[in-house]
Amino acid sequence: MKSDPESKFLSQPLIKRLQTMLGRKPLNKNGAKLSAAPDAKKNTTDQTSIPVLDRLEAMLGKTENTKPESKVAAVSPQKKLPDHDQPKNSEEKPQQVDVTPVAEKPPVEVVAKTEEKPQQRSATENSKTKPPPDTVNIEDERSLAMGGAAIQFTGQVLTAEGGALKVPEESRSLCALFDNGLWLVSASHRRSPLVTSVALMAKRQGYVIDAPRYVTPNIISQAYLYADRRMATSQVDENAVRRKIVHLLERAVDTGANDIHIEAVNNRTRIEFRVDGALRVWETWTQREGEQVLSAIYSHSIGQSGATANWQEPQAAMLTADARGKDVIALPKGVISVRCQWVPLSNEGRYLDMRLQYDSAHLFGENFIMADVDSLGFSQEQLKVVQSLRSLPGGIRIFSGPVNQGKTTTLRVCLNRRMAETNMQVNCLMIEDPPEGGVIGARQIGVSASVKDEQREKTFVEIMRCALRLDPDIVMLGEIRDLQTAKFAFRLGLTGRQVYTTTHVYAALATPKRMRDIGIEPYIIYDHHLIRGMICQRLLRTVCSHCRVPVADATKELGPQYIDLLRRVRAGLAIMDARRNKAHAGKPHMEHLTEPDLSNVYVANPNGCTHCYKGRSGRTICAEVIETDAHLMELLQDNRMEEAEQYWLSPVGLNGITMLWHGLEKVRNGDVSPDDAEFELGPFAREREIMEVEQRLGLKA
């Protein structure tokens, strides 16, 4: 056997031949060594330390990137190399090594690798376009600084210590929630129950939560440092604002105000008190001071209609005298509660009305339980009717009138008197929304602690359903405002309980119309055993006894406009006296007119004095009280309103008195100025009636 380079190569052990091939130094047909590929030198170091299979895969990968011109030898998969244990002097002809260039005869393995490459690249591209679902964008100080979008901390941190949300200390280190909805969460703890429980708590309490921003724990620490600094700087300001609110309430009580109006708009805040039915400007602040006061009142109140103050929608809340805590607003002595109602204004302003609810001792003295409705201004005739209504078993007593006309005060006086008459031996339930209270021995059921109106209405309905199971003798239902409340009131009346309630209607005889308008069936409304009494009232400002002016002198001292006022007063009193004269009952009243006495009629002095405000001091009630009977309800059911009114006012009928007549009596007694009475009740007489009265009395026009 001849000894040539090829025979020497084949006679070497297999490992030697593989090393030669992997070293990129294959033999050509003449046995000479080929030059290595340009990039082979970089990969020839430490080749023996790499496993054989890994080096073969590396070599095949390099072969794919080799240019076609490179004459790199490859082992043909169709040729089988002899075993390294084969004898060197074997007479068999050794197999030839295929040294065909890659460009001329591509190996199978290379083609297979090349087909897999595009799939790998497409998978890589897909991984770039569709990130894994668990990937989150983590914000830290460096990324925010490079992006120029730092997180701005504004508002209140709800999860801070002493904040609105009571969260554990462990949760406070992992998340932070602001009242503007900013929700910072530690990226590494985003699925921790300590974080998710805080989000659920905030949603249950009605707070707004934006999409979470995943940050580092350092940013969360900065949020709580901001909260600490804000609390430290605002503590003094909050105390000052709270003192300003307390001072505002004290001044309102000193002046006898029923309402406080706060309007913050156009860079100023206007404070007004409603005293004796008229608005008085008390003070003016800057808009910023007003907004601070509005926010502080909401944050220190109870029964809010929303979890946070939202000035873009109406909201309601209450301040109560029995609230406890270091941050509460202390109400002045004599004030039970303050009902607050916020509304937004069209020019980005804010408006708040605060209704002050006084206790009975403040209004009537320490012996208030013995006070009756005559202390409010009811006549003695009306007092007897009210006392009769209190003694009747079962049925409904409906008090009506416009807003802020003393209906609740009259109700409380009646119930306090009823409790005294029964020696506190009856169970009186008061169902109000919002609760106002003020009845000794009664059980107050409040409904205003719900967050939303829907929840409050649901709570109110549930209380009404269970009221019959509470064994009541008397039920005071705050207001009949819808069909559901009206049905509940009539159901209580049908079961024999005494029911006291209120509604909004212009006159006592119009009360059944109001019930029909709500949706109650007529056969229930016009049962006089069910609707026992109907009361309607107005509040009139009383004239100051120190500076009042006689009406006869008013035309000279105050102006000629009082001439027509005097004529209307004379005609109104003459017609009222004629219609109420029992001696001429059933006869035309215009034929029995008499000249009324005007010597005690006074008008208010617009300049006022030190004892009053523009000639007025205090208010009194003028009312109409009806105790129903079968005939009256029959006339009302047939819609014969004029006949019903004549029967009610007739001396031989129910001998009633209208609010207009009650106001005329107060004018005759010098308690009320005629112009104030007409402002609330309307003109005392029409021009046609005035002319006829003057003609029959022989007076000059």
* Whether residue 181 sits in one domain with residue 147: yes
Q: Is residue 329 part of a domain?
A: yes
Structure tokens at 524: 């229930």
Domain boundary among 162, 187, 215: 215
- Of the candidates 550, 562, 563, 597, which has an alpha carbon nearest to the alpha carbon of residue 577? 597
Question: What number of other Cβ atoms are within 10 A of residue 589's Cβ?
Answer: 17
The overall average pLDDT reported for the chain is: 80
Higher pLDDT, 366 or 23: 366
Task: Give the strands of the sheet with 278-285, arranged side by side.
Answer: 278-285, 268-275, 257-265, 350-358, 335-344, 315-320
Distance CA 313, CA 179 (A): 16
Element at 356 (helix H, strand E): strand 350-358
What's the predicted TM-score (pTM) here? 0.65
* Whether residue 448 sits in one domain with residue 569: no
β-partners of residue 344 are: 350
* Whether residue 101 sits in one domain with residue 63: yes
Q: Which residues contact 438 (CB under 8 A, 6 or more apart)?
A: 336, 357, 359, 360, 412, 416
Whether residue 161 is predicted with pLDDT greater than 70 in this model: the reply is yes
Handedness of CA 156, 157, 160, 163 (dihedral sign): positive
pLDDT value at residue 334: 87
pLDDT value at residue 80: 44
Cα dihedral value 485, 488, 492, 498, nearest 10: 0
- Of the candidates 74, 90, 70, which has an alpha carbon nearest to the alpha carbon of residue 82? 90
* Whether residue 297 sits in one domain with residue 202: no
* Whether residue 98 sits in one domain with residue 10: yes
Q: Is residue 597 part of a domain?
A: yes
Angle at 633 between CA 629 and CA 636, to 5 degrees: 150
Amino acid at 325: G
- Of the candidates 163, 199, 152, 196, which has an alpha carbon nearest to the alpha carbon of residue 308? 163
* Whether residue 272 sits in one domain with residue 178: no
Handedness of CA 84, 89, 92, 94 (dihedral sign): positive
Domain boundary among 314, 332, 358: 358
Q: Is residue 248 part of a domain?
A: no
Higher pLDDT, 647 or 143: 647
Domain boundary among 504, 522, 553: 504
Whether residue 113 is predicted with pLDDT greater than 60 in this model: the reply is no
Q: Is residue 122 part of a domain?
A: no
* Whether residue 583 sits in one domain with residue 684: yes
pLDDT band per the 50, 70, 90 thresholds, residue 306: low
pLDDT value at residue 361: 78
Q: Is residue 145 part of a domain?
A: yes
Q: Is residue 470 part of a domain?
A: yes
Whether residue 364 is predicted with pLDDT greater than 80 in this model: the reply is no
Q: What is the CATH number of the domain that holds 456?
A: 3.40.50.300
pLDDT band per the 50, 70, 90 thresholds, residue 9: low
**Can you give the residue range of the structural domain that contains 337?**
260-358
Question: Residue 256 in 3-state DSSP?
Answer: coil
Q: How many domains does the chain have?
A: 5
Q: How do residues 566-597 score in pLDDT, each as one tens digit?
A: 999 999 999 999 999 888 887 888 888 999 99
Q: What integer is the mean pLDDT of 556-566?
A: 87
pLDDT value at residue 322: 77
What stretches of 422-452 show up as alpha helix (H) in DSSP? Answer: none
Question: Residue 441 in 3-state DSSP?
Answer: coil
Angle at 298 between CA 294 and CA 304, to 5 degrees: 145
Q: What integer is the mean pLDDT of 410-422?
A: 92
pLDDT value at residue 58: 59
* Whether residue 374 sits in one domain with residue 352: no
pLDDT value at residue 134: 57
- Given a contact cutoff of 8 angstroms between Cβ atoms, the answer to whether 578 and 586 are in contact is no
* Whether residue 320 sits in one domain with residue 301: yes
Distance CA 575, CA 568 (A): 11
* Whether residue 374 sits in one domain with residue 316: no
Using a 10 angstrom Cβ sphere, with 0-12 exposed, 13-18 middle and 19 or more buried, the burial of residue 191 is exposed
Q: How do residues 190-220 score in pLDDT, each as one tens digit?
A: 899 999 999 999 988 888 899 999 998 889 9
Q: What integer is the mean pLDDT of 410-431?
A: 91
pLDDT value at residue 21: 65
Distance CA 535, CA 623 (A): 7
pLDDT band per the 50, 70, 90 thresholds, residue 645: very high
pLDDT band per the 50, 70, 90 thresholds, residue 257: very high
Question: Residue 542 in 3-state DSSP?
Answer: strand
Distance CA 254, CA 619 (A): 16
pLDDT value at residue 186: 92
Whether residue 479 is predicted with pLDDT greater than 80 in this model: the reply is yes
Whether residue 85 is predicted with pLDDT greater than 50 in this model: the reply is no
pLDDT value at residue 288: 85
* Whether residue 179 sits in one domain with residue 92: no
* Whether residue 681 sits in one domain with residue 545: yes
